[in-house]
Amino acid sequence: MALATLVRRIFAHDASPCERLAALIGQLRHRQRELESHLAAEPKPARRRHLQLKLTVNRLQQRKGVERQQQLRGRCR
């Protein structure tokens, strides 16, 4: 699932930005676990490279979300 799709789903609900960001980070962590398990089970090198790329993108998105969460920490209740 793309980050844009996750963001649209989360921001469709009435919640504070901090709550939405926490939910997004949780979904990204769940997706990371799924990708890691698929990667461990995949025997084909081409498919493994593709999964590794997806995993790298997911980790970058998650890191960016955590950094943003740190920036907002003072403004969250």
58-73 pLDDT tens trace: 999 999 999 998 888 8
User: What is the C-alpha separation between 43 and 32, in angstroms, rounded?
Assistant: 19
4-30 pLDDT tens trace: 776 666 666 667 888 888 999 999 999
Q: What is the distance, to the nearest Å, from the Cα of residue 57 to the centroid of all Cα atoms in its chain?
A: 9
User: What is the C-alpha separation between 5 and 64, in angstroms, rounded?
Assistant: 16
38-60 pLDDT tens trace: 999 999 999 999 999 999 999 99
Cα separations (Å) of 17 from 25, 53, 74, 75?
A: 12, 28, 12, 10
pLDDT surpasses 90 at 74: no
